[in-house]
Structures are given as structure tokens and as C-alpha cells.
């Protein structure tokens, strides 16, 4: 039996925690289980009572609910509402929960019936346009990323347990990338949303020579106009910029500003697939 938790001599209660998934790959939850080096320390911070990916026991008596995935069906709205009712704190875990994630790419075609026909053919399935959690319930905290950065989750959970305010970086990924002494990927011919994407990932992708796709959403005061100028200076088209901005959903309003009044994506996509 572990010693009772304390912080500066003050006893702390281990909050009961539940992990849940809606439409997702469950990769964010897997990130936590993969963190073997500090997994026991993490488990000592909280009492996990519901985690389908990691345990068979289940209970609905949780204080904090971590919800991964986006909302794509009506039954998920009902399930999310029930989770929210049971939780004192609801955390959107990962890009799908925060912005819609990769799932929301189908919204780009602006024709749900056509998308269902193209994907499922003659096998109808219940699905709707993709939404982040906050479209239906109050979200108390968002943890960004696709997948989430496990070290960041542990820091945030520690802050919650000890009663500290949770703060996300306001600066862009570019600052972390420079701090890690990386060569700018634009110089290597790679498009990148690092100048406008919220930091906190320790330039995870760019440090591995992969341009940022904006999975953490926009940084505070993100300057899209400057990003366009940078992209065009290095020879990247507006379509390339849109592909990046629309990938995870966090830049939806920014993408609308970039999109030209040319034929919509639905028409273009149909021509390519016909």
C-alpha cells in the first residue's frame, strides 16, 4: 500500500478518474499506458475506476472524466451527456475531442449523404457531421495533440491533484523548435504550421524532420497572413496551406479565411472519384 499523498505537508486525496472514448483510434489513451517508466507514479496520483483500454473493472463514481474522440453519432451525444453528469471535471483528451480531429475531414466535403455513399456504399450507417465535445457539453479543460504528449498529461494531472492552475503555452511551436536548435523545415522544402500552432509538444514532429500539421490548434495571436506569406515565399500553394489547416479542425475559422471562392471541395472531390 503506497503512502498517503501529501504536498508541502498537506494531505491530498486521490481523485477518482475515468477514461472514455467516442469516435477515435484510442491512441491518446494508449499513450498513457505506453509510459511505462512513470506509469506507477501516475497511477499513485489518481484512482482509476473506468478505463476500458487498461482494465476490466468499471464504475461511474469518478471525479475527473478524460474523454477521447469526437462526436459523430446521436448515441454519442447521449453518452457524453451522461459522462458529463457524473464528472466534476471533464477533460477533452486530444485533438479529436478538442477540435474534431482527423474525423472532421469529412465535414470538408459539405455533403454528408455523398460522403456516406462514397465510404459505405450500399451499407448505410448512422453518422453525422463531426463535432468536438464542447459543442454539446461544458468542457473544463482541453489537452491538445494527436496523440497527446504523455508527459504533458502527467503534469496537468499533477496540477489538478495539488490544486494548481493549469496553463498551456501561448507561444507557437516555432519557439520550441528554435530552442531545440532545429533547422527550419521551410529551408528543407517542407511545409509547416509551426509559426501559428500552439506549443507544448516540445516540437515533437519538427524535431523529427516532419512539418507541423497543427494538431494542437492555434497559438495565441496566430498570424495567418504572415503564415501565408511564408508559405508562398517558399513556393507552397494555397491548397497546400488548406490541407494543413483543415487536417485536425483547430484552424477551421482560419481555413475559411484562406479558402478562395473557387468551386467547392465537394464538386472537386466528385470529379476526382467519378
Domain ranges for the chain: 6-162, 173-262
Given this model, what pLDDT does residue 198 score? 97
Q: What span, in angstroms and rounded, lies between the C-alpha atoms of 48 and 42?
A: 10
pTM score, whole prediction? 0.88
Q: Report the DSSP pairing between strands 10-11 and 6-7.
A: antiparallel
Instruction: Please report the pLDDT score of residue 9 as a whole number.
Output: 67
| Euclidean distance between CA atoms 265 and 172, whole angstroms | 29
Q: Distance between CA atoms of 223 and 219, rounded to whole angstroms? A: 9
Q: Which of 210, 175, 176 is nearest to 190 (CA)?
A: 210
What is the assigned CATH class of domain 6-162?
Answer: alpha beta
Query: CA torsion 50→69→200→15, rounded to 10°?
Result: -20
Q: Tens digit of pLDDT per residue, the chain (274 long)?
A: 456 776 666 677 889 999 999 999 999 999 988 877 888 888 888 999 999 998 999 999 999 999 999 999 999 999 999 999 999 999 999 999 999 999 999 998 889 999 999 999 988 788 999 999 999 999 999 999 999 998 899 999 989 888 889 999 999 999 999 999 999 999 999 999 999 999 999 999 999 999 999 999 999 999 999 999 999 999 999 999 999 999 999 999 888 888 765 544 443 444 344 3
Q: In the beta sheet, which residues pair with residue 20? A: 67
Amino acid at each position: 500500500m503506497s503512502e498517503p499523498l501529501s504536498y508541502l505537508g498537506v494531505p491530498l486525496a486521490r481523485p477518482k478518474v475515468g477514461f472514455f472514448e467516442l469516435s477515435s483510434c484510442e491512441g491518446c489513451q494508449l499513450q498513457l499506458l505506453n509510459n511505462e517508466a512513470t506509469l506507477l507514479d501516475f497511477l499513485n496520483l489518481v484512482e482509476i475506476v473506468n478505463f476500458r483500454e487498461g482494465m476490466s473493472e468499471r464504475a461511474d463514481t469518478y471525479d475527473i472524466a478524460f474523454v477521447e474522440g469526437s462526436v459523430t453519432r446521436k448515441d454519442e451525444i447521449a453518452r457524453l451527456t451522461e459522462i458529463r453528469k457524473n464528472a466534476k471535471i471533464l477533460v477533452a483528451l486530444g485533438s479529436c475531442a478538442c477540435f474534431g480531429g482527423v474525423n472532421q475531414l469529412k465535414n470538408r466535403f459539405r455533403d454528408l449523404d455523398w460522403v456516406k455513399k462514397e465510404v459505405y456504399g450500399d451499407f448505410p450507417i448512422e453518422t453525422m457531421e463531426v463535432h468536438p465535445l464542447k459543442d454539446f457539453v461544458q468542457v473544463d479543460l482541453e489537452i491538445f495533440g494527436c496523440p497527446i504528449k504523455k508527459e504533458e498529461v502527467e503534469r496537468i494531472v499533477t496540477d489538478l491533484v495539488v490544486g494548481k492552475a493549469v496553463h498551456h503555452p501561448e507561444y507557437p511551436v516555432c519557439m520550441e523548435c528554435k530552442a531545440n536548435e532545429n533547422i527550419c523545415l521551410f529551408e528543407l522544402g517542407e511545409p509547416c504550421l509551426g509559426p501559428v500552432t500552439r506549443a507544448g509538444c516540445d516540437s515533437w514532429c519538427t524535431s523529427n524532420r516532419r512539418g507541423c500539421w497543427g494538431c494542437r490548434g492555434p497559438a495565441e495571436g496566430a498570424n495567418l497572413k504572415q503564415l501565408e506569406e511564408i508559405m508562398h515565399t517558399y513556393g507552397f500553394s494555397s491548397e497546400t496551406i488548406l490541407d494543413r489547416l483543415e487536417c485536425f479542425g483547430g484552424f477551421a475559422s482560419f481555413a475559411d479565411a484562406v479558402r478562395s471562392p473557387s468551386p467547392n471541395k465537394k464538386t472537386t472531390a466528385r470529379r476526382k472519384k467519378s
